[in-house]
Copies of this chain bind each other. A is one copy, B any other.
Amino acid sequence: MRPATEPLKTQKVYLLLRDKIVTGELKAGARLPSELALADQYNVSRVTVRLALDLLSREDLVEKRVGSGTYVRGSTFAQPVTADLSNAFAHLIEMGRSTAVRLISFEYIEAPEKIAEALDLEDDERVQKSVRVRSFDDVPFSYLTAYVPERIGREYSRDDLAHMALLELMERAGLRAETAWQEVGAVLANPEVAEALGIGVGSPLISMIRVVRGKGERGMEYLHALYRPDRYSLQMNLVRKGSEGSRHWSPTSEGFRSDTATGSRATKTKRVKDK
């Protein structure tokens, strides 16, 4: 005997409407059908429609006007913050300035198995675990959980980490990062991360694991980064390589930042940035 699955229906209606707004099928300023009409259309209860509209409203995608109905909000979504931010970001990097960091936790713990394995730790070697949230213009965009072997972690303090980039701290200690491997995926925001990033629980996040190695391939850092996709994106230029039958895309670090306001399309690259 299954209970009624209204939460799933709410999510479904929410996503269907969200899709129409994001793709522009429902344009900014458009009035949504009435709750009753939507309930009828999606074959759900009015309460379910109202909950879905609430979710959209929380994301500033729609606006409820008393006595008038629900309207699609201005072009906050149509003009992705991402592109603008990337531009500003690239600029910031060039300026040598930095984003703001909030250190949420800092501790030495027994290394979780997968971390120990990825960093090739000695038996019983402990790790420094830190959690940081990075913001840009006071809006948080990344939630970073970093694991560093204790011998390296002892080279800097909790306070250092609240003020300088991790790799810079390592370099200050004479330890140079040389290579890294990374894997990008997607996850849902859990309540802890959602709160830290100022988004709704269950929002989609870019997930990145990066394993950084120094001299002799020694593991220096295991980073698990979560990014708000509306504030951050991974961009890259590729070139087509290889001969007939084995052609493939190969990433290139080259690329240039466009100086035009609309240059967010295909004319620039954001370099993979320090955490």
Contact = CB atoms under 8 A, between A and B. Distances in A.
A248 interface: yes
Contacts of A185: 82, 206, 229, 233-234
A102 interface: no
A68 interface: no
Interface string A1-32: 01101111011100110110000100000000
Interface in A226-266: 227, 229, 233-241, 245-253, 255, 262, 265-266
A204 B205 contact: yes
Contacts of A93: 248
Q: Is the interface of A mostly helix, strand, loop or mixed?
A: mixed
Contact of A265 (B3, B18, B117, B177): B117
Contacts of A246: 96
A47 interface: yes
Contacts of A211: 265-266
Contact of A272 (B10, B186, B227, B249): B249
Interface residues on A, range: 35 or more
A274 interface: yes
Contacts of A65: none
A237 B180 contact: yes
A123 interface: no
Contact of A8 (B47, B201, B237, B272): B201
A84 to B, nearest CB: 13
Given A178-B240, A181-B269, A188-B203, 15 more contacts: A3-B51, A7-B51, A15-B188, A93-B248, A96-B246, A117-B262, A179-B239, A179-B240, A181-B237, A182-B236, A183-B235, A184-B206, A249-B273, A250-B253, A251-B251
A-B residue pairs, 5 tightest by C-beta? A250-B253, A186-B186, A251-B251, A7-B7, A185-B229
